[in-house]
Amino acid sequence: MAEADGKAQKDAGRGGGRLCCICQARKPALKRPKTLQQICRECFYAVFEAEIHEVIVENRLFKPGERIAIGASGGKDSTVLAYVLSELNQRHNYGLDLFLLSVDEGITGYRDDSLETVKRNEMQYGLPLKIVSYKDLYGWTMDEIVKMIGMKNNCTFCGVFRRQALDRGAAMLKVDKLATGHNADDIAETVLLNILRGDIARLSRCTSITTGEDGPIPRCKPFKYTYEKEIVIYPLTPISFYYYFSTECIYSPNAYRGFAREFIKDLERIRPRAILDIIRSGENFRISTSTRMPEQGTCERCGYISSQKWCKACVLLEGLNKGLPKLGIGRTRGPNAEPKQDQMPNGSRSMASKQCGTLDF
């Protein structure tokens, strides 16, 4: 006891003896990147959860009685999201039915481990879990795809397939909406990448907190304004869910995105607000009337939403099944050779290829 007191005193001295600027009572444990406030652990949990509640209410992300799937990868963002949403749902009577939805890409040694984490979440939070696999949906695992196409464009396949797999899983669960764990750092990074690619259509879309409202399953991002640093610190507590999965996808050589990420982290170190500022600039971009948006229709083959005759997944699958895996990568040939509508100037190149291991937009 005496020893513990001595330790606490020493630590207080090391922290400059200052007190938490919210409760003015306890020793601060972290500096919030968003506000630069020094706050204690207890106040941190309170403001972290309160801010997410505020974002949910202000943006009307959910309606009472809705069924909501949480895109669960086993990583830190979706693990914390599942925990926080189920807490807030009870605390504030949102009246939501929550589900966990995971995609099994079929990557040996990577996804099987992270799916174990999701299964643990299912037990801990009592949320029903649905797993959809590439093998069942498309007849191919990522391991098999990589064996066929090599390491070069595999993130393209994975990104296109995952997006569709989540929509199909959500349809099977009959949910009204899909919530994903994208955080403020992810969104800032995507804004930057879309500027670098000159992808105006995605630039204006990627900061929206809810997307796809015209499609089958709208998606929302309750962590849009939540810093990654706080998501990582949040579970480091006596709470029992320190457990999340954190290894890079073994097929993820997406160096370009990696550089953008590092640039964001460099900026954050100099000026933590930079992350919110980048999101703000993304929000403030408006599409000029001369940029034509692709018209949405449905894929003639599988019925999935598509601006062309066949959806991207069907084009890629056709290539795989015919042994022509380059089909659908780079300039489009094959089934979509005659575009149904005017294509975006960069239509076939502009697919999202969010680093594997995280969910794409």
Partner 1 sequence: MHLTLEFGGGLELLCDAVKIHDVHVEPPVGSEKMTMRDLLLWVQKNLIKERPEMFIKGDTVRPGVLVLVNDCDWELSGQLDTTLEEKDVVVFISTLHGG
Q: Residues in the site for partner 1, rule: CB under 8 A?
A: 7, 10-11, 14-16, 18, 27-31, 38, 41, 73-78, 114, 181-182, 185-186, 228-229, 231-233, 236, 244-248, 261-262, 265-266, 268-269, 355, 357-359
How far apart CA 279 and CA 234 sit, in angstroms, is: 22
The answer to whether 275 contacts Zn ion (rule: CB under 5 A) is no
Return the one option of partner 1, Zn ion, none that residue 20 interacts with (CB less than 5 to 8 A, by type): Zn ion
Residue 135 vs 301, nearer CB to Zn ion: 301
Residue 38 vs 141, nearer CB to partner 1: 38
Which residues, including other chains, have CB under 8 Å from residue 290's CB and lie 6 or more apart? Answer: none
How far apart CA 273 and CA 276 sit, in angstroms, is: 5
- Asked whether 27 and 12 are in contact (CB, 8 A), the reply is yes
Q: Nearest-CA neighbor of 313 among 95, 143, 201, 167?
A: 167
Which residues, including other chains, have CB under 8 Å from residue 202's CB and lie 6 or more apart? Answer: 190, 194, 350, 352, 361
Residue 43 vs 166, nearer CB to Zn ion: 43
Of 32, 38, 43, 165, the one binding Zn ion by CB under 5 A: 43
Residue 108 vs 247, nearer CB to partner 1: 247
How far apart CA 65 and CA 185 sit, in angstroms, is: 31
CB of 255 to Zn ion, least distance (A): 30
Return the one option of partner 1, Zn ion, none that residue 30 interacts with (CB less than 5 to 8 A, by type): partner 1
For the record, the structure tokens of 356 come out as: 């594997």
Residue 54 vs 262, nearer CB to partner 1: 262
Of 33, 38, 40, 206, the one binding Zn ion by CB under 5 A: 40
The answer to whether 316 contacts Zn ion (rule: CB under 5 A) is no
The answer to whether 195 contacts Zn ion (rule: CB under 5 A) is no
Residue 23 vs 196, nearer CB to Zn ion: 23
Of 265, 302, 334, 350, the one binding Zn ion by CB under 5 A: 302
Q: Nearest-CA neighbor of 77 among 158, 183, 162, 166?
A: 183
Return the one option of partner 1, Zn ion, none that residue 347 interacts with (CB less than 5 to 8 A, by type): none
The answer to whether 304 contacts Zn ion (rule: CB under 5 A) is yes
CB of 12 to partner 1, least distance (A): 10
Q: To the nearest 10°, report the CA torsion of 202, 203, 207, 211.
A: -20
The answer to whether 191 contacts Zn ion (rule: CB under 5 A) is no
Residue 175 vs 314, nearer CB to Zn ion: 314
The answer to whether 22 contacts Zn ion (rule: CB under 5 A) is yes
| Residues making contact with Zn ion (CB under 5 A) | 20, 22-23, 26, 40, 43, 299, 301-302, 304, 311, 314
